[in-house]
Amino acid sequence: MHVLKCTSCDLLLHEIPLAPKHNAYCPQCGSPVIHRKFFSFSAEWALSLAALALFFPAQYFALLSINLLGVNLTTTVTSGSLTLMSSYPFVGGLVLFCTTVTPLLFILSIIACNLALSLKRPKMLFFSTSVIEKVKHWVMVDIFLVSLAVACFKIQEYAIITFTPALISFVFLQIILGALLSHVSAKNYWEAYRPSHFHLPQKIATPLNQILTCEHCGLTQERDRQHCVRCNAKLEYRAFQSIQKTWASLITALIFLFPANLYSISVLISNGKKMEDTIFSGVASLIKEDMYGIAIIIFTASIIVPVAKIVSLFYLLICIHLKIKTRKKERMRLYRFVRWIGKWSMMDLCVIAIMVSLIERGNLLDFTPGPGAIAFGLVVIFTMISAESLDSRLIWDKNE
Ligand SMILES: [Zn+2]
Ligand SMILES: [Zn+2]
């Protein structure tokens, strides 16, 4: 009998044979339990090599240029974050990490996974699949692209904008990364891992309540060992100190939410006049200038998303503590939504990085981040860590 446990809610399932490329979803929590490979390994090779080829022109050539006070200025993906790093190393480093470091790590890890499979190297496969699972939530090329559009709308009142061919390679890079991000999973690589000495256990002798499905590679096995028999990942009945880690990062995020909103996030100097904006006053001035679309985008990404994330995670944790038995399916949907939406809060910081690289004309016109940007960066990081630390199986625990 081939059984497996849903790694999101721990429901015991009897595996149903499926046609190739069909997915199966858990009837209790709705999470995918069998995620069939969408791209063949050769297609994945081609896509990851294409992404790597596009990565360098997309990162190092100017995406757009502006004519500001008679001077031509350009911006690349990295120029804003590198300029920011000289005055605000944390904010600059965070933008650089999410828009340059993680996309490159993600592409290289896919190539390494495919190499490890062909060479039958389990340690290399474990390392590269672990990197994929860790970095994929932090790949924010899509957010940078939207931020670029927002920055263009903001800058158009000061300067004429011209787009360059490198922007096209950046858009293609985003399309390929988007396709890879939604279809690449560690479990698929391990499903394909078949060295001659390794045989999948055909039958599990222990009672069904004593089995566990490895979260990393998806292999079902007996619960009596510390590490997975196939991938060597640590086997955990529930993630270690999940609730404590979630609470700690959530409370930290809540504390930083106040300075993030009370202190100025950006400072614009125009003709010697200094204009400091908090997130909220920035949105208000966008409304005053009739830029309603951008005002709504910034308001949603910078105010609604972080607050909604914090409130939702508080609600999920309280329900776990109070052992509330009803509406678990809705709470699971909320948990998945919180994990998906989290990275969009980074948009304001990406917009600041782009603006910093473009508007730097001394006392006539200058743009710098304010101290609120550091606090806001910390809110983004800690809310994301908090959502990642919460083990969703705790939502479903019966606690009789
Ligand atoms: Zn489930
Ligand atoms: Zn495993």
In this structure, are 185 and 61 located in the same domain? yes
Same structural domain, 177 and 51? yes
In a domain, 154, yes or no: yes
- 392 lies in the same domain as 249: yes
pLDDT in tens, 56-69: 888 888 888 888 77
Q: Total domain count for the chain?
A: 3
Residue 97 region, left (φ>0) first, then alpha (ψ -120 to 50), else beta?
alpha
Of 141-155, 178-192, 206-220, which range is least confident?
206-220
**How many CB atoms are closer than 10 A to CB 206?**
12
User: Ligand 2 centre from 233 Cα, in Å?
Assistant: 5
pLDDT higher than threshold 70 for residue 183: yes
Q: What is the mean pLDDT of the chain?
A: 86
Residue 255 lies in a domain: yes
Residue 232 lies in a domain: no
Note whether 215 and 160 are same-domain residues: no
What confidence tens digit (pLDDT) does each residue in 195-205 have?
666 666 656 66
What is the pairing mode between strands 24-25 and 32-34? antiparallel
Kindly report the pTM of this predicted structure: 0.88
Contacts of 361 (CB under 8 A, 6+ apart): 68, 69, 71
Amino acid of residue 251: I
Residues 220 and 287 in one domain: no
Q: For 257-314, how does the pLDDT look when each residue is reduced to its tens digit (9 = 90+)?
A: 999 999 999 888 777 788 888 999 989 988 988 888 889 988 999 999 999 999 999 9
Span from the CA of 234 to the centroid of ligand 2 (angstroms): 8
Q: What is the dihedral of CA 63, 69, 72, 77, to 10 degrees?
A: -30
Which ligand number lies closest to the CA of residue 130? 2
Tokens 């640590």 locate to: 234
Domain encompassing residue 395: 239-400
Kindly indicate the confidence band of residue 22, based on its pLDDT and cuts at 50, 70 and 90: confident
| Residue 175 sits in the same domain as residue 310 | no
Residue 392 domain flag: yes
Task: Looking at the CA of 33, name the nearest ligand.
Answer: 1
Q: Are residues 95 and 1 in the same domain?
A: no
**CA 372, 292, 92 angle in degrees (round to 5)?**
30
Q: According to the model, what pLDDT value does residue 112 have?
A: 95
Phi, psi dihedrals of residue 289, rounded to the nearest 5°: -85, 15
pLDDT at 343: 86
**Structural domain includes residue 17:** yes
In this prediction, residue 399 carries a pLDDT of 61
Closest ligand by atom to 230 CA: 2
25 and 63 co-located in one domain: no
pLDDT-based confidence at residue 102 (cuts at 50, 70, 90): very high
Same domain, 171 and 212: no
Residue in 301, 158, 142, 203 with CA at minimum distance from that of residue 3? 203
Task: Determine the distance separating the centroid of ligand 1 and the alpha carbon of 5, expressed in angstroms.
Answer: 8
Residue 362 lies in a domain: yes
pLDDT at 21 over 80: no
Assess if residue 277 is contained within a domain: yes
- The whole-angstrom separation of Cα 21 and Cα 16 is 14
Q: How far is the CA of 390 from the centre of ligand 2 (A)?
A: 20
How far, CA to CA in Å, does 161 sit from each of 74, 102, 347, 357, 383? 10, 28, 20, 14, 35
Q: Ligand 2 centre and the CA of 60: distance in Å?
A: 38
Q: Based on the domain organization, do 16 and 82 belong to the same domain?
A: no
Do 47 and 176 lie in a common domain? yes
Cα–ligand 2 centroid distance for 374 (angstroms): 38
In a domain, 231, yes or no: no
pLDDT at residue 361 in the model: 60
* The pLDDT value given to residue 206: 67
67 plus 108 within the same structural domain: yes
CATH code for position 359: 1.20.140
**324 contacts: CB under 8 Å, gap ≥ 6:** none
- The predicted-structure confidence for 188-244, as pLDDT tens digits, reads as follows 888 888 766 666 665 666 676 778 888 888 888 887 788 888 888 888 888 888 999
